Structure 1
Amino acid sequence: MTDKYDVIVVGAGPGGYVAAIRCAQLGLKTACVEEWINKQQKPALGGTCLNVGCIPSKALLESSERYEEIAKHNADHGITVDGLQIDVSKMIARKDKIVSQLTGGIEQLFKANGITWLQGRGRLLAGKQVEVTAHDGTVSTAAADNVIIAVGSTPIELPIAKWLDTRIVDSAGALDWETIPGKLGVIGAGVIGLEMGSVWRRLGSEVVVIEAMDDFLGAADRDVAKSAQMQFKKQGLDIRLSSKVAKVDVGDNGVTVTYNDPKGEQTLVVDRLIVAVGRKSNTAGAFADDSGVQLDDRGRVVVDGHLQTAVPGVYAIGDCIVGPMLAHKASEEGVLVAEQIAGQKPHINYDAIPWVIYTHPEIAWVGKTEAELKAAGVAYNTGSFPFAANGRAKAMDQADGLVKVLADAKTDRILGVHFVGPLASELVGQAVIAIETECSSEDLARMTFAHPTVSEAIHEAMLAVDGRALHAVGKKRK
């Protein structure tokens, strides 16, 4: 007999497990299908983000940043340490412990909310039935009035640089090295490449990042990207733009990367290579031919404005649909779909979804970039403020970078806020609130910010929109 639920969620990453919890909170009988097997060879919830993505990478970024702080920056504070060492195995073990605690926490939340965890690979059949293939090969079927597809994404493998033991890896492989590579190559200067490159550079690797695009961080505001690139260069992160990889060879002396840049063919020999050229929707094999769900030319699930597929009652969220592949975006879409199923009328403002890159300095933004506003023909005013003029940032030894604000020239409504500098990942939350509540730059300029805080840089940038920043000399508004 086929088990029947109000909702079946296929995938238990940040979109899927949040959707399942919200459905259960709303009184819906809910099951969630998840196939993940962790490095301890046990079933685990949380998907890529918690197991080999957002959380473990931040754990290693934190460890490596503390090491570099002691090794290179504490002397100015009058602090010296003799015999500094890094135990990489212990650092990896700490990361694994954090992952285990959080994935275990989701399992407890499932139990507390009465959610059935169907362990295995889910496949949508016709009639809103879900086939679950367990890890032992056993196949079962469950049915539901509603199905939420949250299968996430997988890293893109280059045909010329296929994964090879510990020498050529994706971002997940780079999370488990227990020795520090002498020379590390990274293909791709996006979020993942920069974060993983930063971890190992801090621990002592010579890191070279090869990027095919001409512009650094093309999605970011140009002023922020330029500032970040300068700081990465000072740190020793060798970023080579306009460089297209032609082939990768593995030999006794290491991994040889052949690439072409404006000067011609170049070669780079490294000990290990991270391939971080993006991710693709994990939809292969997720749908029977007669399921009724449509995919676009990139394998993403086609949905309407309510995240519903061509099949009524079947929805898709997160990395497997159009839009930025961000964990928090997937989570909010999961909540939205759950509440729609329950008859509520939720919404998501996609213009107020923040982006964060957890390098040092951190990079974050929300809303429009200056280039986007120019392309759209929107008249705007801009204001910026350097962290070099912020007392708290100076005291923290993190005074590089800036805050930049873009506001509508007619209404003064805030259209975008961009950060590169200390605590950018936390500061951007204030900008999200400002955009979501349709604040003007004047609104924030008239608010009182605590002193001394790095948040004051936001206040000053808002003042600068009107040419009246108090702690930096800027252009006066006409």
Structure 2
Amino acid sequence: MSKYDIIVLGSGPGGYVTAIRASQLGFKTAIIEKESLGGVCLNWGCIPTKALLKSAEVFNYLNHAEDYGLKAEKVDKDFDAVVKRSRDVAGGMSKGVQFLMKKNKIDVINGFGKLKSGKKIEVKDKDGNTKDYQADHIVVATGARSRELPNLPQDGEKVIGYREAMSLKKQPKKMIVVGSGAIGVEFAHFYNTMGTEVTIVEFLPNLVPLEDEEVSKQFEKSFKKSGIKVMTNSSVESVDTSGDGVKAKVKTKKGEETLEADIVLSAVGIKTNIEKIGLEDLGIKTDKDKIVVNEWYQTNVPGIYAIGDVVAGPALAHVASAEGIICVEKIKGMKVEALDYGNIPGCTYATPEIASVGLTEKQAKEQGYDIKIGKFPFSASGKASAAGKKEGFVKVIYDAKYGEWLGCHMIGAGVTDMIAEAVVARKLETTGHEILKAVHPHPTMSEAVMEATAAAYDEVIHI
């Protein structure tokens, strides 16, 4: 039986980062993966969707070339080629993880892993053969998959999840997207830009409902302007796939109506991959579809840990990576700091992009803060005007008494690359006055952060 210091079950951005950090710390490390290295994020999530969205952005630029004084005639798309580029990007990233495994001398074990007593994992390969492996420490990082609702069962053809949406053989003429979280709105934007007639159905009152309400309203306005039909306070009650397409019964405040489409994309959240991996056999505690862990990701069973989508917290790649690093550094005995879940950036890569960190205005008020709020519209930004990207704004929220940066909410072009300023500043306990007096380069989109802060302190100049 092969023996390791650390075995990681799952090779997504949580798992493979955990394995690399463990190897760096001198642990003999192995990683178990049933499919492709990189997990959902690299193969079917974060990375390939961004490739699709980039193709949509270029296509949109070409269709609006005249806005920039240019001419592009006979602009068309090759849907198959767009999908192929996305898959090629994903394939390249997975190969990159393979290289990192070799570089860091991590053994890759292919197959489905199941926890056993005695800190062992049984791995069944594609041919059905099994082999046991043992480790002093086992880290569960098995991730999650698209969640299915009882009234919206996925058949992989007419009612699909994000995985199928990424590799359709044919572009649908009409699509219904159920759910307006990041996954739903990113695919809605992509298919709408490619020419599909898209309808979004959202149960809650606002699109991207976890965002600040002003951001949600601006986003809905932008989506409607782009031609996407938005139905909030609505729910899909049932689907009929017996005909050529799909008929979805949608319950709204005004009553019930039937929508017809070629495909329904279910984007109503995720389901953790915690079944059949031996949790029950070992008595590992779970709660509401999550593995219960402490702040260092230790389960109730000594030597077994869990990180990423399978534990409570935001189901985000960068969160899983951070958790994995903290986990193995704690195992090593290093002095580590628990992850601050109140300072995790969230990003949505549709057009316009959304990025946020910290408290929304509503949350800050509910927590009893006396707040200062500043907003700066990109319509007043020289860089945004030059780029033809004047949509959106930056909104900042500060504690009026101490100047603590409580929240930052952005919507507009490139804001997912701007949010890190707020994350780092909040980590360093930077005050509003310090942001205001830190010279930001001009002309940039990022100076809108300083301008919004100036607005909060009644010192704004450019609006």
SS in 2 for 1:108: helix
Within 5 Å, give how 1:90-105 maps onto structure 2.
90-105=81-96
SS in 2 for 1:141: strand
Inter-partner Cα distance in structure 2 for 1:398 and 1:354? 23
SS in 1 for 2:395: strand
For residue 206 of structure 2, the aligned residue among 212, 215, 223 is: 215
Match of residue 52 from structure 1: 44
Instruction: Say if 1:126 and 1:292, in contact at 8 Å, map to a contact too.
Output: no
Match of residue 31 from structure 1: 30
Match of residue 391 from structure 1: 382
Inter-partner Cα distance in structure 2 for 1:187 and 1:323? 23
Query: C-alpha root-mean-square deviation of aligned residues, in Å?
Result: 1.1
Inter-partner Cα distance in structure 2 for 1:373 and 1:449? 27
Question: What's the CA shift string for 1:307-343, capped at 9, x where partnerless?
Answer: 1100122111000000110000000001111111111
Q: Structure 1 residue 16: deviation in Å? A: 0.4
Q: Structure 1 residue 13: deviation in Å? A: 0.3
Inter-partner Cα distance in structure 2 for 1:468 and 1:165? 55
Q: Which shows bigger deviation, 161-170 or 231-240?
A: 161-170
Structure 1 gap ranges (5+) = 37-43, 473-478
Inter-partner Cα distance in structure 2 for 1:279 and 1:165? 16
Question: What's the CA shift string for 1:65-119, capped at 9, x where partnerless?
Answer: 1101211x21121212111110111111111111111100101110111101111
Q: Structure 1 residue 165: deviation in Å? A: 4.1
Q: In the alignment, residue 47 of structure 2 is paired with which amino acid?
A: I
Inter-partner Cα distance in structure 2 for 1:366 and 1:158? 29
Inter-partner Cα distance in structure 1 for 2:61 and 2:258? 33
Match of residue 145 from structure 2: 154
Q: Structure 1 residue 252: deviation in Å? A: 2.9
Match of residue 228 from structure 2: 237
Match of residue 290 from structure 1: 281
SS in 2 for 1:14: coil
Find out whether 1:321 has 2:311 as its counterpart. Answer: yes
Instruction: Say if 1:365 and 1:428, in contact at 8 Å, map to a contact too.
Output: yes
Find out whether 1:63 has 2:51 as its counterpart. Answer: no
SS in 2 for 1:372: helix
Inter-partner Cα distance in structure 1 for 2:460 and 2:302? 53
Match of residue 84 from structure 1: 75
- Runs of 4+ more than 3 Å apart: none
Inter-partner Cα distance in structure 1 for 2:270 and 2:412? 27
Q: Structure 1 residue 349: deviation in Å? A: 2.0
Inter-partner Cα distance in structure 2 for 1:288 and 1:172? 26
Instruction: Say if 1:319 and 1:330, in contact at 8 Å, map to a contact too.
Output: yes
SS in 1 for 2:149: coil
Match of residue 476 from structure 1: none
Instruction: Say if 1:127 and 1:291, in contact at 8 Å, map to a contact too.
Output: no
Q: In the alignment, residue 32 of structure 1 is paired with which amino acid?
A: I
Match of residue 334 from structure 2: 344
Inter-partner Cα distance in structure 2 for 1:289 and 1:235? 49
Match of residue 12 from structure 1: 11
Q: Structure 1 residue 215: deviation in Å? A: 2.8
Question: What's the CA shift string for 1:191-235, capped at 9, x where partnerless?
Answer: 111001111100101100111112332211111111111111111
Inter-partner Cα distance in structure 2 for 1:191 and 1:133? 34
Q: In the alignment, residue 62 of structure 1 is paired with which amino acid?
A: K
Inter-partner Cα distance in structure 2 for 1:379 and 1:314? 43
Q: In the alignment, residue 5 of structure 2 is paired with which amino acid?
A: D
Percent identity over paired residues? 38
Find out whether 1:425 has 2:416 as its counterpart. Answer: yes
Find out whether 1:370 has 2:369 as its counterpart. Answer: no
TM-score (norm 2): 0.98
SS in 2 for 1:308: coil
Structure 2 gap ranges (5+) = none
Number of corresponding residues: 462
SS in 1 for 2:384: helix
Inter-partner Cα distance in structure 2 for 1:339 and 1:17? 15
TM-score (norm 1): 0.95
Q: In the alignment, residue 24 of structure 1 is paired with which amino acid?
A: S
SS in 1 for 2:260: strand
Inter-partner Cα distance in structure 2 for 1:372 and 1:206? 35
Instruction: Say if 2:394 and 2:410, in contact at 8 Å, map to a contact too.
Output: yes
Find out whether 1:410 has 2:401 as its counterpart. Answer: yes
Question: What's the CA shift string for 1:389-443, capped at 9, x where partnerless?
Answer: 0000011111111101111111101111110011110000111111111111110
Q: In the alignment, residue 289 of structure 1 is paired with which amino acid?
A: E
Inter-partner Cα distance in structure 2 for 1:64 and 1:380? 39
Q: Which shows bigger deviation, 458-467 or 339-348?
A: 339-348
Q: In the alignment, residue 323 of structure 2 is paired with which amino acid?
A: E
Q: In the alignment, residue 413 of structure 2 is paired with which amino acid?
A: P
Q: Structure 1 residue 174: deviation in Å? A: 0.7
Match of residue 41 from structure 1: none
Instruction: Say if 1:170 and 1:275, in contact at 8 Å, map to a contact too.
Output: yes
Q: In the alignment, residue 70 of structure 2 is paired with which amino acid?
A: I
Instruction: Say if 1:126 and 1:288, in contact at 8 Å, map to a contact too.
Output: no
Q: In the alignment, residue 3 of structure 1 is paired with which amino acid?
A: S
Question: What's the CA shift string for 1:429-470, capped at 9, x where partnerless?
Answer: 111111111111110100111111111101101111111111
Within 5 Å, give how 1:451-466 maps onto structure 2.
451-466=442-457
SS in 2 for 1:51: helix
